[in-house]
Amino acid sequence: MSKPVTIVVGSHVWVENAELIWTDGEVLKINGQEAEIKTSDENTVTAKVSKLRPKDTEIPAGGVDDMTKLSYLHEPGVLHNLATRYEISEIYTYTGNILIAVNPFQTLSHLYDASMMKKYSGVPFGELSPHVFAIADAAYREMVNERKSNSILVSGESGAGKTETTKMLMRYLAYLGGNAAAEGRTVEQQVLESNPVLEAFGNAKTVKNNNSSRFGKFVEIQFDNRGRISGAAIRTYLLERSRVCQISDFERNYHCFYLLCAAPEKEREKYKLVDPQSYHYLNQSSCYELVDIDDAQFYLSTRRAMTVIGISEVEQEAIFRVVAAILHLGNIDFANGEDHDSSVIKDDQSLFHLQMAAELLMCNPRALEDALCKRVMITPEEIIKRSLDPLGASVSRDGLAKTIYSQLFNWLVDKINVSIGQDPSSKCLIGVLDIYGFESFKTNSFEQFCINYTNEKLQQHFNKHVFKTEQEEYTKEEIDWSYIEFVDNKDVLDLIEQKKGGIIALLDEACMFPKSTHETFSTKLYQTFKNNKRFIKPKLTRSDFTVVHYAGEVQYQSDQFLDKNKDYVVPEHRDLLSASKCPFVAGLFPPVSEEAAKSSKFSSISSRFRLQLQQLMETLNSTEPHYIRCIKPNNLLKPAVFENVSVIQQLRSGGVLEAVRIKCAGFPTYRNFSEFLTRFRILAPEVLKMECPENEACKKILEKMGLKDYQIGKTKVFLRVGQMAVLDAQRTLMHGNSAKVIQTRGRTLVTRKKFVSIQMASICIQSVCRGELARKLYKLKKQEFAAVKIQKTSRKRLARKDYLRMIFSSVLLQAHLRAMVARDDFKSKRSAAVTIQSGLRAMAARDDLRYKVEAAVVIQTGLRAIAARDAYRKRAKSSAAVITQTDLEEPKEKEATKSEASKQAKTDLEEAKVEEATKLESSVKDKNGPKEAKGEESTKLESSVKVDEKSVLVESRAAAIEIDKTSPMIQKLPGPDQDADIIKILTAEVENLKVMLQAEKQRANEFERRYLEARVSSEQGHKKLEETERIVHQLQDSLNSVFQDDILHVEPSFGAQNNIVYCIKIKFSFWASC
């Protein structure tokens, strides 16, 4: 039989994504083993069908509170459900009876107050939403009801919230089982107050967490027969001693060092302490303070917690003296001594810190220096003291500091246990295990190896518990599960802890030989495990090795494995501190007898840790376990940020996906009969008509689909891996086919409805359109009639306009013609006036000359008469006098007659000039009329004529006056000398007349030039007038044609009357501009 189809076109699936790990999409096309998927972000990708995971489209919008309810229990389904719940601030989710807690990185006080404790108290597990109180309540109720010890295992990586979860568990257990007093203080109060003390001395800031526990802790809370807390004990595992002397950047040493540096000034002065930046064990990192944490307040709360758990003031003083001494020890530097391989205190500053350390430890400073710089070698023959070089002395100093701190921490744990007190008669307990999670860094040393070894043991215990839970479910439903194979990680544990040939055994063996190095140890590992599939020898390294853990591969650097595995105290250090005058310091290093020292076997950290771990596993195996897996959603330690890459790695390392794998090995999906039939009844609708029992109906549906290896229980259907996907694929196909039929019928119905509606709408539209067309036709005819009437009126107005325009043009032309005739007349008259003036002037000149000649003749005659009188006097005096008087009177009369004739001519000339000027003025005024453009020219011409007229009158008058003036002068000249003067005057007068004649000629020429210019401008105006008339006629013809088109094609929205008015306005504006 071919493999069942689980992915079809239209299936909703999960596809791998580089950034998001998994992203959802819909299958568009399948070509053999390749599928084309359209993802939710509108991208199209291609992937192999075998790598796709089906997606449950019926999951609620807020996810499910128990992931066993998921139809598809696989990696993307678990990840998506956690992310969905985290978005709505649901940080707790069940996986069966396992609680997954996602760190919110914010305070959610409403989840842990007294009302919430009361809400979960006594409620059966699973009835309320997931919560850490539900796990604690289930453990407590099971212990009380079944009289059996329980344990709660809290695990997760650094920063996942293990410590806070442990606090909440202990608070709730104290709430349930309080009121048992011991020495005036309640046991639960001492248990809760022990947390700040252990955090101060056992927690530190790491790159991933500001309050990371650097040790494992198992708290046993003992209860009496009434379910009250009667005692408690705290067991610790594998304190990270190397952190005392060496820290990485952005990390901190243990909190107690910084608390002491932030203590009140009086106490710091007592211990000679300053800022943390001044101490070598603290200034290796640039981080000295924590955000939102006040070390000074933390110090005071730690001192109060010490008091609550029963540590006296004297003991507290001694504890912080030891802490201060460790800080001073770290500032002791060494330099080369006199010998090449010896060392001495480097400078005065180092000497000061040596003396302070000795003073605080209450030991001899010289003995402390020798213990740091020298070693004692005991041989059968003698005791030899060997000096250490500066590097060896520094290593000895760091070893002493680590030893002191380790012993101090063990003393604190023992003191807390003694102070709280254990109940030997207690039969039941609840253990809370707060232990480090799986670790994998760039550099992994001995501590990471032990931590991951612990997690391998816990994962084995977890796998057994999950398998046991599954087994109980199968047994309850009475199904056959004997053929299910349980996959364990025993091969990895054998690789690590096998007594003969394991990594720990080979490490202890290497530590027993003084000449062994990390390279020889690594070589031994390569040879021993070269064929082990869980062990890998990395390339390009000589001492590293890789172990394939359940959570992935981890590469370890074996450089310091041997040094960190040696669990012994340097005898010189022990002797020095055991001889201390401080009872507290001496109590940390009790003296060891020689027989005990000789009889003691080799001891190592790994062996002791393995023994502690075995004891822990024995305790856990004797209890009913409950599991809490803490998850850190992001590495930024910020709320509302869910990083898929980080979370999926924690799910793998936390064993959640391993539990999923175990469930998938059996029947990962099971549904009640009613739920199964509700979801898949579409696959066999005929089965529901048979009215058979629900289990039979489910079986017939599965048989119809051709599935095998499923199980039908008493109330549930159990499906193997992939069978749910097969059913969903068939359901998707059935839905698709049904959808096609429904769509066909639906489209037919919709199309018919659409057709009918369109038909009705078209009829309605047609009737409306016909009515609209009729109304428009009526309106058009009405507008046509109005347009004809408007055209008639407009044509009448246009004809009248043309008539008026022609009259205006005629008047204008007449005015121009009259102006031209007037100018011609003026020119002729002006020419005649000039001729007359020239004739008159010539005549006046001739008359003047004649007068002067006659005067000269008279004078000559007079002279001759005088001469004759003189001659005649002698002849006849009387007769001569009569003749002379007659001759003199005759010329005078002639001269008077000539003067009057000249004056009369001048008067006639002036009157003719005035009359001609008047006619010219009237002709110019007649030409002035409608053309305002010629007004200025006519005005200038009139003014020039008047000026000329005035000048002619003035000149004529001036000439008459000159003649009048000249005549008497001529009459009065009596003799020849006067004749000469008169000739000169007459000559000058003739010259003046010539000049005046020339001026008159120039004026006549100027008037003629102006006349020609006026005539030319008149002709140009006439031409423009004709051109304008022609354009007007063209515009009239074009407007008449346009007007006729507008009347024939008139629009309802614009009346013909408006067009006619518009045309008339255009014509008026045009004529106005012309």
Give catalytic residue positions.
158-159, 163, 209, 212-213, 437, 439
Task: Provide DSSP, 675-694.
Answer: HHHHHHGGG-HHHHTTT--H
Nearest to 570, CA basis, from 336, 327, 393: 393
Pairing status of strand 624-631 against strand 98-102:
parallel
The residues with which 1053 forms a beta bridge, in sequence order, are none
In degrees to the nearest 10, what's the CA dihedral of 519, 525, 528, 529?
A: -140
The pair of three-digit structure tokens given for residue 750, joined into one six-digit string:
């919709």
Q: CA-CA distance, 424 to 534, in Å (whole number)?
A: 44
**Which H or E run contains 900?**
helix 877-928
For 440, which DSSP code? -
Q: CA-CA distance, 730 to 680, in Å (whole number)?
A: 9
Three-point CA angle 948, 953, 958, nearest 5°: 125
What angle separates helix 365-373 from helix 390-420, to the nearest 10 degrees?
120
Nearest to 1055, CA basis, from 864, 787, 814: 787
Q: How far apart are the first and last CA of the chain?
A: 106
The pair of three-digit structure tokens given for residue 383, joined into one six-digit string:
């005791």
Pairing status of strand 181-182 against strand 711-712:
unpaired
Nearest to 466, CA basis, from 601, 230, 660: 660
Q: Are 113 and 104 in contact (CB under 8 A)?
A: no
Q: CA-CA distance, 217 to 170, in Å (whole number)?
A: 13
In one letter, which amino acid is 1046? D
Nearest to 509, CA basis, from 446, 434, 602: 602
Nearest to 369, CA basis, from 400, 340, 339: 400
Which residues make Cβ contacts (< 8 Å) with residue 801, sequence separation at least 6?
1064, 1067
**Which H or E run contains 964?**
helix 935-972
Q: CA-CA distance, 1070 to 1074, in Å (whole number)?
A: 6
Q: Helices (DSSP H) in 238-312: which residue ranges?
A: 255-261, 265-271, 295-308
In degrees to the nearest 10, what's the CA dihedral of 363, 369, 373, 374?
A: -60
Q: CA-CA distance, 723 to 986, in Å (whole number)?
A: 155
Q: What phi and psi values does residue 98 have, to the nearest 5 degrees? A: -100, 135
Nearest to 680, CA basis, from 734, 602, 744: 734
Q: CA-CA distance, 549 to 557, in Å (whole number)?
A: 16
Neighbours of 942 (CB within 10 A): 17
Q: CA-CA distance, 892 to 861, in Å (whole number)?
A: 13
Q: CA-CA distance, 1015 to 717, in Å (whole number)?
A: 125
Task: Provide DSSP, 851-899.
Answer: HHHHHHHHHHHHHHHHHHHHHHTTT-HHHHHHHHHHHHHHHHHHHHHHH
For residue 844, CA distances in Å to 76, 168, 851, 963 come to 140, 150, 10, 9
Q: CA-CA distance, 627 to 647, in Å (whole number)?
A: 18
Q: CA-CA distance, 133 to 169, in Å (whole number)?
A: 7
Q: CA-CA distance, 397 to 400, in Å (whole number)?
A: 5
Nearest to 574, CA basis, from 560, 594, 602, 553: 594
